[in-house]
Homo-oligomer: A and B are copies of this chain.
Amino acid sequence: MEIKVVKDILGANEQIARKNRQLFDSNRVFVVNVMASPGAGKTSVIMETIKRLKGKTRVGVVEGDISSSLDAEAISKEEVPVVQINTGGECHLDANMTATALGDLPLKDIDLLLIENVGNLVCPAEFSLGEDLRILISSTPEGDDKPFKYPLMFHEADVVLINKIDLLPYLKFDVDAFSKTIKGINRKVEIFPVSCTTGQGIDEWVDWILGRMGQK
């Protein structure tokens, strides 16, 4: 019975995600679902990405949080359209919450929509929002064993950003071993080591995403 309920929920989510995707496509919006543990740096990566894309492409943001609108307030300073979703306890965004937020966004004036999911390495991986690309931000202080422990999230990601590489001198974290583990789970994944504090690697990531947008 429980399995049936879960299947129904995921099936219904998939239907709404398809509608979202049609809406994105008809407005020529490239959509990225940004996932990570709490505190891995989702908002920082989004902020750095927006800064580097100014004058190159028009960005919009959806901020998913259980409660609070701290991140949306920070991002609105970059003068891009931003909509806050408060899930009210739910541990992930779903397609329906996303659909509700889209009505408040000027989709015709957006080329790239960054959707910041709730901080969680488990549940968001199961719910499509209708996105073109799933990025996972995994930060060095979390440790290099995370792909073994949260395999679905690493399997579902199109891109992994290894964030906070400025902290590497103070941590036991093997970037090569970590990258190899991820590639073992997910052969096609792209990996970018980055630091939002020093800016290292951010240009490479931004160039890559612009390239991907051009292919749509």
Known A141-B141, A145-B70, A167-B141; judge A37-B119 contact (CB<8 A): yes
Tell whether, in the assembled complex, residue A149 and residue B70 are in contact, meaning their CB atoms are under 8 Å apart.
Answer: yes
Q: Could you say which of A16-24, A120-128, A205-213 contacts chain B?
A: A120-128
Residues of B within 8 A of A37 (CB): 37-39, 119, 142
A27 sits at the interface (CB 8 A): no
A89 sits at the interface (CB 8 A): yes
How many interface residues does A have (CB within 8 Å)? 35
Residues of B within 8 A of A134 (CB): none
CB-defined A-B contacts under 8 Å, sample of 24: A5-B5, A37-B119, A37-B142, A38-B121, A38-B142, A38-B146, A38-B149, A38-B150, A39-B142, A39-B146, A40-B142, A65-B149, A66-B149, A66-B152, A67-B151, A89-B122, A91-B91, A91-B120, A91-B122, A119-B149, A120-B120, A122-B123, A141-B167, A167-B167
